[in-house]
Amino acid sequence: MHKVSREIAAAMFLALCCLGAISQARADICDAAVAHPGRSAADLKRDELDHPAEILRLLGLRPGMRVADILAGDGYYSELASYIVGPQGVVLAINNAAFDGWSDGDRQTRAAGNRLPNVQHQTVDLNDMHLAAADLDAVMLVKVYHDLYWVDSSGKWPRIDTSVVLTQLATALKPGGVLLVVDHSAKAGHGASDASALHRIEDSYAVHDFESHGFKLVSRSDVLRRPDDKRDQVSYRGVMLGKTDRFVLLFRKTG
């Protein structure tokens, strides 16, 4: 009996060592991506606000994965993910026409000289992205989930069927695939009602929304929390630029 106990203890110690090694490897690969030579001065400045190593560590990317960066903009996170998934992996940097228009110059500079050969830029209608079924290991929506609820009377932003978008993402992920959501927090009880005016959304609303479309919340991080944010100002300009309270949620496909 005593021998069995020693064997169990040894097995538990070995398992803990393996988990520690995996965690350290992920830390190293994420830190290495952020420290990769050739990243722009603008990206390095953004790192101070966005803590990308911690965010990518939560997502758990590994070499060889296929990842979609939805509404990738100029590709800040697409570039970082490309270093982690490596030459055997693929990053789909997906924009709609409006996002392309707002970030085209910076995006083309980032991709100049084929410096990110494993990043594939796509311009799509979000309501019909033509994503292959069970093709992706991970999906990122960084500070853009609220845009799925943005109603723009000026006509610069197309109307999006959010339920259709989330269903497409669930279908495109492999069983057990993960989806990361980072966004600007709205006040409690506001749901998606601030998406148009303030470009914010409530985190509890996000949890319910994604869990209603085949995902399960498996982790969250407070690394981007700002309790001093009153959540009543526009998120992307003026005094709140880079100073919003942001929630970080990780979901896993359940089917």
pLDDT at 17: 42
Q: How far is it, in rounded angstroms, from Cα 77 to Cα 8?
A: 42
| Predicted confidence (pLDDT) at residue 198 exceeds the cutoff of 50 | yes
pLDDT band at 147 (very low <50, low <70, confident <90, very high): very high
Handedness of CA 118, 124, 127, 133 (dihedral sign): negative
Decide: pTM greater than 0.75. Answer: yes
Nearest Cα residue to 68 out of 1, 11, 147, 121: 121
CATH number of the domain to which 62 belongs: 3.40.50.150
pLDDT-derived band at 16 (thresholds 50, 70, 90) equals very low
pLDDT-derived band of residue 3, with 50, 70 and 90 as boundaries?
Answer: low
* Degrees, nearest 5: CA angle 179-183-189: 110
Q: Where are the beta strands (DSSP E) in 71-210?
A: 90-95, 119-123, 136-142, 173-184
Question: pLDDT (tens digit, 9 = 90+) per residue, 218-230?
Answer: 999 999 999 999 9
**Total domain count, the chain:** 1
Nearest in space to 70 (alpha carbons), one of 177, 160, 173, 169 = 169
Average pLDDT, rounded, for the chain: 91
The two three-digit tokens of residue 107, written as one number: 């995006």
Domain containing 229: what range?
A: 2-253
In this prediction, residue 105 carries a pLDDT of 81
Rounded mean pLDDT, 94-99: 97
Q: What percent of the chain clears pLDDT 90, i.e. is strictly above it?
A: 83
pLDDT (mean) for 16-43: 74
Which pLDDT tens digit goes with each residue over 103-144?
Answer: 978 898 999 999 999 999 999 999 999 999 999 999 999 999
Residues 90, 93: Cα–Cα separation, whole Å: 10
pLDDT value at position 9? 52
Which pLDDT score, from 0 to 100, does residue 2 have?
53
pLDDT at 236 over 50: yes
